[in-house]
Structure 1
């Protein structure tokens, strides 16, 4: 008879669990797919397996608040969820606006239920969801929104739908004004879910130009529609209509909005500029969460056979707004924050306890709490001089680089072997 109390012990790592107030060398024990103990020392003989993680960081399973994983349905945007998730050291991913009220059943069946990664969604306010909108912007007009149907879909799928996704970008405003954002805000209010708002140019301007719209006024018109807990995305975007005005200054309304309870998500990806971040951080624009925002347009995805009939006529188009980003990951985004002067101890909550709160799932995720599912991310914490770059090709030298080693998802181990993970570049 096997009397060992635990299935697995992660031994000797630096455990950082902001929700529990733990930051120190600890052992973490797992039993039946759940966290069983977090203690200064656990006897190796008490576990069927012991993994030495000394010198590594042991975090609650990381949560990527901005993913695009509706593979195939959203065209080149959608990446494989496990490639972005467990194979990149991330245990939970939140698809931002891929599924809609029309396509959510397929998302549930083919993505959420078939992935090793926990997959959640912010439901698109648009009937078409997250298609390749920069090619088909007219699909995102007010006529493409059904408030009642989207509210119904969100309410009936609360286990999967944790928020609503909307866009406040100059291309949409130039075509239809603020109407679509007003409709998205109504959906979020009626469904009692947070609204995640994209800022920064995305779809391009109509042929007639900006139609009298001023990108610098979008922010101050949209924020009054929002409520505490809603999320402002892409604070460090270089694109017009973001947090920075044409004079290079942070919009005066941002700080007041944050003080009033609105949250900021980095949404790294194609909308991250070190130049803009260096202007924003001193003004108090400290992100609450840190979504990676990886998708097929900004991530070097290895060639893979495409299903028969997959359209590829747009894949070589150089006019889309996402060019210029090489491989990256959620841990690379964390390293970027640290390179900008935000300490590790402030970055860890951005991928653990804060997103759990944003998702209203702090009773299940984001902490190494006994009884919670054993979602654990184990990271390398490399020291040296490493070259990081953004999609403006601005380069910075980081003295610390975080890389995923492996993760546990409900106690099952997954190696960080995703082919999209960046390679460390010495400076």
Structure 2
């Protein structure tokens, strides 16, 4: 170590992939005062106070999870500890999808966003109640539970955290109230000038009166015309009715037209994901823009918060039950097992999410002067079994696993209890 070392930390010898910079190759990454100081070949080790050998590993811009559930305790079993799914899983930035509402946003800021070591953003719920366990209490998500003016006001007043609006377009809601909630959510997005992230695929279940004449296969056709450029269609590979694949087993024809006019697609992996339907959608030309993990306390079997009602404990046949352990990096492996290349997947968790929330100058790139948010992954060759919630298995010929990340230059090892172990084929 040189007494006059000009860098605090040097990541040396890895494969650096930064889609925003057009970089893919053997480079060293130097950090000074929590910021990227250099991305070059063959930086002298003596120029840094600390050198970390990352030869054989992938060095990426800090990963961004576009679908997180981190309003811990407030959103019941859904709410995860932000740093468990964030920096302790190799992910430096999280976008909570619909946890806080205009009423509960101050608590989200004070108790979640500010204390977290991970970067935290949110898509504000279109509903006053926010991301409560709505599958138990769907009556809270009616049009009467939406206040357009209050939600727009909260979004405009909190641009550092609120980067979009979250809503649901699913058969249970349509059977109860028709399309009105989505019309209101789209209006919030227009007035706040923010993207609207729309959940597709059945979520709340049907009322006792049944579908009330609604058809899940028509929801996309009716909702997409309400949306604008930059809005996000979520869960394209859902195993539930109302997704991108209709009952005839083909991609809805409205999807390509939506993409052509600038709408985006987020995987929202989690417990909705189906390899069977994903193969159909990808074969039909659907390549997602972003890759949200959609990890929550139901699909990771995290112990319930104290005081959670007993009804929440019965998970044997729960619609959200799924992987006991999961991560955004595992979701990356999932996409690659479906035939997408590493070079296609990396933008889904770096440059594209940063663009989605209009923060490309802040995150999603390894550029000199930006905060040193860096994710280091190991790519293990071999044959590994990946399984979805339909118990469909695919074989991956390599597996990505997080090693550690830097958040503003501070190192966090990937030691989260939810990280899955490799299962050899």
For 2:280 and 2:102, locate their aligned partners in 1 and report how far apart those are by CA, in whole Å: 38
For 2:144 and 2:315, locate their aligned partners in 1 and report how far apart those are by CA, in whole Å: 27
Residues 34 and 372, structure 2, Cα contact 8 Å, conserved in 1: yes
Residues 324 and 393, structure 1, Cα contact 8 Å, conserved in 2: no
Q: Deviations over 1:75-127 (max 9, x none)?
A: 00000000000000000000000000000000000000010000100000000
Q: What corresponds to 1:385 in structure 2?
A: 383
Q: What corresponds to 2:94 in structure 1?
A: 93
Q: What corresponds to 1:250 in structure 2?
A: 251
3-state SS of the aligned residue for 2:300?
coil
* Structure 1 segment 76-225 matched on structure 2, within 5 A: 76-225=77-226
For 1:169 and 1:41, locate their aligned partners in 2 and report how far apart those are by CA, in whole Å: 53
Q: How big is the shift at 1:320?
A: 3.6
Q: What corresponds to 1:292 in structure 2?
A: 293
Q: How big is the shift at 1:367?
A: 0.3
Q: How big is the shift at 1:2?
A: 3.9
For 2:163 and 2:310, locate their aligned partners in 1 and report how far apart those are by CA, in whole Å: 32
Residues 76 and 315, structure 1, Cα contact 8 Å, conserved in 2: no
Counterparts in 2 of 1:21 and 1:95: CA distance versus 1, 3 Å: same
* Structure 1 segment 245-394 matched on structure 2, within 5 A: 245-301=246-302, 303=303, 306-307=305-306, 309-318=307-316, 320-394=318-392
Structure 2, unaligned stretches of length 5 or more? Answer: none
For 2:132 and 2:295, locate their aligned partners in 1 and report how far apart those are by CA, in whole Å: 15
Structure 1, unaligned stretches of length 5 or more? Answer: none
For 1:296 and 1:220, locate their aligned partners in 2 and report how far apart those are by CA, in whole Å: 32
Residues 315 and 321, structure 2, Cα contact 8 Å, conserved in 1: no
Runs of 4+ in 1 over 3 A off after TM superposition: 309-313, 317-320
3-state SS of the aligned residue for 2:15?
strand
Q: How big is the shift at 1:324?
A: 3.2
Q: How big is the shift at 1:283?
A: 1.1
TM-score normalised to structure 2 length: 0.98
Counterparts in 2 of 1:262 and 1:296: CA distance versus 1, 3 Å: same
For 2:269 and 2:26, locate their aligned partners in 1 and report how far apart those are by CA, in whole Å: 30
3-state SS of the aligned residue for 1:36?
strand
3-state SS of the aligned residue for 1:424?
coil
Q: What corresponds to 1:420 in structure 2?
A: 418
Residues 134 and 140, structure 2, Cα contact 8 Å, conserved in 1: yes
Aligned length: 424
Residues 195 and 231, structure 2, Cα contact 8 Å, conserved in 1: yes
Q: How big is the shift at 1:315?
A: 2.1
Single out whichever of 196-205 and 314-323 deviates more from structure 2: 314-323
* Structure 1 segment 56-71 matched on structure 2, within 5 A: 56-71=57-72
Residues 324 and 418, structure 2, Cα contact 8 Å, conserved in 1: no
